[in-house]
């Protein structure tokens, strides 16, 4: 798995384009319908490596000519999350585009309190440890969330 890009300078336009392209391919392959609202929702999330609240997404969808009511945003967001194209960040009650689409993953999220960027990092060891803890008590994990709040490398060095 790659290094997370959220906290480092990178060709973001390309990064977003690649994610969009991945979504299209995945949709085609799995018979999903990447409809206009859904596509636009993903575009909106891909604009930045931040998590956006549903209402923030909704505003922009409305501005783009889609419906103006909460379910419009929630449905599109739920679709993206369900198909691994976005993640829900529980700590923020918000959503972020998936930064490593395609790679089988259940990442950990690192949320910078200073710049609001959210990075998705490989969490194989963390998952393994969590699975171990679950096994120890006989618990069967269906899904889990691992989220950390703190300071990203950039904000740490520019206080």
In terms of Cβ atoms closer than 10 Å to its own Cβ (0-12, 13-18, 19+), residue 56 is middle
d(CA 45, CA 61): 11
d(CA 44, CA 139): 37
- The answer to whether 95 and 88 have CB atoms below 8 angstroms apart is yes
Q: Which is nearer to its own copies, 34 or 89 (CB)?
A: 89
List the structure tokens of 88: 């829900």
CB nearer to DNA: pick between 35 and 103: 35
Site for its own copies in 118-137 (CB under 8 A): 119, 121-123, 125-126, 128-130, 132-134, 136-137
DSSP state of 47: T
Tell me which stretch binds its own copies (CB under 8 A): 32-40, 58-66, 69-77, 109-117: 109-117
Closer to its own copies by CB, 102 or 122: give it: 122
Least distance (Å) between residue 76 CB and DNA: 6
Residue 40 contact, options DNA, its own copies, none, Cβ 5-8 Å cut-off depending on partner type: none
Contact between 1 and its own copies by CB under 8 A: the answer reads no
We find the least distance from the C-beta atom of residue 78 to DNA, in angstroms, to be: 7
Sign of the torsion formed by the C-alpha atoms of 130, 2, 82 and 69:
positive
């Amino acid at each position: 798995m790659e290094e997370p890009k959220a906290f480092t300078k990178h060709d973001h336009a390309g990064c977003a384009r690649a994610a969009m392209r991945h979504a299209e391919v995945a949709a085609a392959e799995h018979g999903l319908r990447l409809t206009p609202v859904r596509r636009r929702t993903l575009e909106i999330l891909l604009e930045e490596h931040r998590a956006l609240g549903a209402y923030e997404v909704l505003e922009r969808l409305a501005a783009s000519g889609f419906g103006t009511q909460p379910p419009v945003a929630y449905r599109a967001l739920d679709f993206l999350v369900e198909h691994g194209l976005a993640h829900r960040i529980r700590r923020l009650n918000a959503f972020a585009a998936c930064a490593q689409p395609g790679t089988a993953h259940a990442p950990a999220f690192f949320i910078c309190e200073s710049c609001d960027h959210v990075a998705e990092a490989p969490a194989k060891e963390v998952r393994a440890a969590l699975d171990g803890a679950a096994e120890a008590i006989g618990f069967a994990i269906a899904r889990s969330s691992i989220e950390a709040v703190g300071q990203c490398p950039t904000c740490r060095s520019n206080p």
